[in-house]
Amino acid sequence: MPKKPKPRPVTILSEVPDLDTIGGRIHRARQALDLTTAQLARRVGVTTVTATSWETNRSEPRANRLAMLAGVLNVSPTWLIFGLGESPTDETLQSELALLKSDMARARRVHEELGKVIGSLEVHIARLKP
């Protein structure tokens, strides 16, 4: 009976990397947060032209900006550089989306209640008019 091959240890290199470019990953992460290029640039402390250059692969962020960029985009520097790890479309965004949906539902309920109060006030005002 042939020997079973030993299972290889799981390492960071075992993952299938995101094959997009660093610029493509920056672009996708920015879009996932619904930020404009100008908003991203402002948050990272660079010009819009610089941020656009990163996204179009005309240049790459320096190490100090890369760490800041990863923080602003809520992704790991490893994902930005190598495409390894969680992408911005993973669980983090799903939980944020669930919170936003919950807040929207609450805002709709408050809006409806406020509409009823306004309607009631209008009726009272109309009765009081001479």
**The token pair that represents 106 in the structure block:** 């609450």
The CATH code of domain 17-86 reads 1.10.260.40
| Strand runs labelled E in the chain | none
Burial of 75 (0-12, 13-18, 19+ CB in 10 A): buried
Q: What is the pLDDT of residue 47?
A: 96
Q: What is the pLDDT of residue 83?
A: 86
* pLDDT digit string (tens) for the chain, length 130 residues: 556 655 554 444 556 777 889 999 999 999 988 899 999 999 999 999 999 999 999 999 999 899 999 999 999 998 898 888 877 765 555 666 777 888 888 899 999 999 999 999 999 999 987 7
Q: What is the pLDDT of residue 119?
A: 93
> What is the rounded distance in angstroms from the CA atom of residue 13 to the CA atom of residue 6?
17
Q: What is the pLDDT of residue 23?
A: 94
Q: What is the pLDDT of residue 13?
A: 52
Q: What is the pLDDT of residue 6?
A: 57
Q: What is the pLDDT of residue 123?
A: 92
CA-to-CA dists, residue 110 to 44, 96, 107, 113, 116, angstroms = 36, 21, 5, 5, 10
